[in-house]
Amino acid sequence: MLILTILPSLALAALFTLLPARIHHRRSVRADLYAGAGVSALVWLWAVCVWSKPGLSVGFDAFRLAAILIMQAIACGVVCGFRLRGTLPQKLRTPAAVGLLLAASLGIELFVGNLNWLATHSYTPVDLRPYLVNDADPAAPLTLNDEQTTLEFAGLDFAIYNLQLDGLTSLADGDTPEQKNVLLTLNVAATDEASSVSRQSWNWETAPASARSQTHSLDLSGKVSTLTLTASGYTGEYRSYPLNAQLTTVYANARRPLDFSVLRFAVIFALALAAFALRPASAAWQDAYLTHEKNTARQCWPWGWRSARRRSWRPSGTASTRASPRAFITPPTGRVRAASTSPCTSTTGRPTPVPSTVRWRTVC
């Protein structure tokens, strides 16, 4: 099945690599290789990371084949579509971009927002109730309280990737919701092929009112021999609640359902539209910002020129200049003439230019 997936994947990579050169009637360039084969390689890298437990080639089925090919088609199609959008008529470019962003948002929601659904689709759920040690009544629900806080399972001898609590309910009685649905803390300890001594993982916090919190992923090596769950009640800084709950059984390797969030899809699509509308080559920059900058520069330069001329021909306006008294000088002819009070005017009445110290502003 893996070979049947690699062959169509190579065909898709070749198609999206050669298609831009075929449409533009040119030779293929390095950018075509990045858009086709490069994006396809990233899709396979994503697949290796998603199905790392138990492995990409382990249990490879038609679901993984379809998921990889669909994601590759969406990713390569969106990249190739944006590269070929310039060949369309002007009135069709914006609708084409919106359609491509819609397809990209749908792909992100399905293949990134639902990683747990993809990773656990091939799991085979196993009921751990038959492996429970000291189970007095297999048909009765399991009770967790101050006297019974531990569930021990032995003789497993198979790989465990996650755990799921089934039928978890709270037996606490109180007046407020937090007293009726108390948060539980479970500590998971197991022995696997890498360690014969029971090792503990992170604490697992779950609540009867939260179905999503009742599934917990594990990071164990190979087959598991024994598994121990130790439960405790909620203990906070200001208050604490006793342990009082019951459950039907515990499942290993449980499948996670598809969780398509319309709100998350709408947010991703809105962000994609905003990023496309505010890109530097968009109409918002070309028609609004650049036009405003051009008009502002056209108005600022004449204003700066007039301001510089006024400052170069007029007095500086300091207190010493305004308060300077009129001085009298006696020329060689003997006639008394009043000296000019302006530093820009000579004694003969002709204007004397003063070097300007005004610096031109580069940005208005």
List pLDDT tens digits, range 137-170: 888 899 888 888 899 999 898 999 999 999 888 8
Scan for tokens 């820009």, then name that residue. 344
Q: In the 3-class helix/strand/coil scheme, how is the chain assigned residue by residue?
A: CHHHHHHHHHHHHHHHHHHHHHHHCCCCCHHHHHHHHHHHHHHHHHHHHHCCCCCCCCCCCHHHHHHHHHHHHHHHHHHHHHHCHHHCCHHHHHHHHHHHHHHHHHHHHHHCCCHHHHHCCCCCCEECHHHECCCCCCCCCEEEECCCCEEEECCCCEECCEEEEECCEECCCCCCHHHHCCCEEEEEEEEECCEEEEEEEEEEEEECCECHHHEEECCCCCEEEEEEEEEECCECCCCECCCEEEECEEEECCCCCCCCCHHHHHHHHHHHHHHHHCCCCCHHHHHHHHHHHHHHHHHHHHHHHHHHHHHHHCCCCCHHHHCCCCCEECCCCCCCEECCCCCCECCCCCECCCCCCCCCCCCC
d(CA 25, CA 42): 28
Of 359 and 240, the structure prediction assigns the larger pLDDT to: 240
Are 352 and 345 spatial neighbours (Cβ–Cβ below 8 Å)? yes
Predicted confidence at residue 288, as pLDDT, reads: 52
Mean pLDDT across 338-360: 49
- pLDDT tens profile 250-274: 999 999 999 999 999 999 999 999 9
Both tokens of residue 289? 């910002």
Give the amino acid at 204. Answer: W
Half-sphere exposure (Cβ direction) of 348: Cα atoms closer than 13 Å: 3
Predicted confidence at residue 353, as pLDDT, reads: 53
Scan for tokens 């400052």, then name that residue. 311
Predicted confidence at residue 46, as pLDDT, reads: 94
- pLDDT tens profile 164-223: 999 888 887 666 666 667 788 889 989 888 877 777 666 888 888 888 889 998 888 888
Predicted confidence at residue 208, as pLDDT, reads: 85
Mean pLDDT across 335-349: 48
Q: Which of 20, 77, 9 is nearest to 45 (CA)?
A: 9
9 band by pLDDT with thresholds 50, 70 and 90: very high
- pLDDT tens profile 261-308: 999 999 999 999 999 888 887 766 665 555 555 555 555 556 565 665
Q: Which of 79-83, 120-124, 132-136 has the lowest mean pLDDT?
A: 132-136
Question: If you average pLDDT over every residue of the chain, what do you get?
Answer: 80
d(CA 329, CA 99): 86
43 band by pLDDT with thresholds 50, 70 and 90: very high
Whether the predicted pLDDT of 55 surpasses 70: yes
Mean pLDDT across 22-50: 91
